[in-house]
Amino acid sequence: MGRIVLVTGGAKGIGKAIVQELAKNGYDIIINYLTSRDEALALKDEIIKENGIRALAIRADISKEEEVDEMFREVEEKLGNVDILINNAAIDYPNLFHLKTADEFRRVLDVNVVGAYLCAKRAYQKMKEREYGRIINISSTNGLNSYYPMCFDYDASKAALNSLTHNLAAQMGPYVHVNAIAPGFIGTVKELEGYDEEFLKEEVDKIMVKRYGKPAEVAYLVRFLISNEADYINNAIIRIDGGQMGSY
C-alpha cells in the first residue's frame, strides 16, 4: 500500500499536475477542491483507471477549521492517515490597490495562509504519532522579491506562507519535514488567460531560460522532495522559476 497524499486545490493547474505525477508513481491521492467539483471527480476517475491507486475527491473550504477536520476524518475512515500534505490551494483577486477591499484581503490570507496552517496542524496529529510526515507548501516567487502591484495581498500571503514553513519545520522536527516550493511564471490556463502577447513577452524576457514553466515541472520537484532521496532537505524555500530576474 502506497503513501497517502492530500493535495489541496488539486483539481486544476499546478495541483492537478501534482496529483497526476504522484498517482503515476504509486501514491494514493486525496484531491481537495472547493468549487471545481466536476474537474475533481473526473481527475479522480482518471488516476484510478490509469494507475490503479486509491483516490478520493473531497470538497472542503480549508479556511474553515471544522471543514478541515471533517475532511481528515473522512480520509482516515476511507483510506487511512495522511502521510504527505501538499498545501497547494490558493486564491487571488488581481485589482488596483485602491479598488481592493478588506474582505478580499482577509479572504486571500484565510485561504493561502490560515488554510495551510489548519491542514498542517491537523495532519501533524497523526504524523507525530507515526514519526513520519512530509509537508510541502506551494508558495511563489511573489513571496520573495518579485512583486506585482495588482496582487499585493497575494504577495503578502505567500511571504507569510514562507515564514509559516520555517516555523512549522522548527515545530515538527525531526520526523516531519516541512519545505516550500516557490514557482515563478508557470503556464497554467489561469496564469495565461486574459494576457496579451506583449505582456507575456515582457514576462518571458525576465526569465533566464526564456520561457515560462510547465505545471509538470513543479510536480517533478514535489515528487523529489517527498521521496527518500530528499530526506536531508528540510526547512527550505526552493525557487523553480527558470532564473526569474528579481526573485532572488
Q: In what order do the strands lie in the sheet with 237-240?
A: 55-59, 28-33, 4-7, 84-87, 133-138, 176-183, 237-240
3-state secondary structure of 63: coil
Active site residue 27: no
Residue 188 DSSP label:
-
CA distance 76 to 82: 7
Q: In Å, what is the CA distance from 187 to each residue of 70, 194, 202?
A: 33, 13, 14
Place of cell 506562507: 161
CA distance 216 to 132: 26
Q: Determine which one of 154, 212, 220, 232 is catalytic.
A: 154
φ, ψ of residue 198 to 5 degrees: the values are: -65, -45
Instruction: Name the grid cell of 185.
Output: 511564471
Which active-site residues does the annotation give?
154
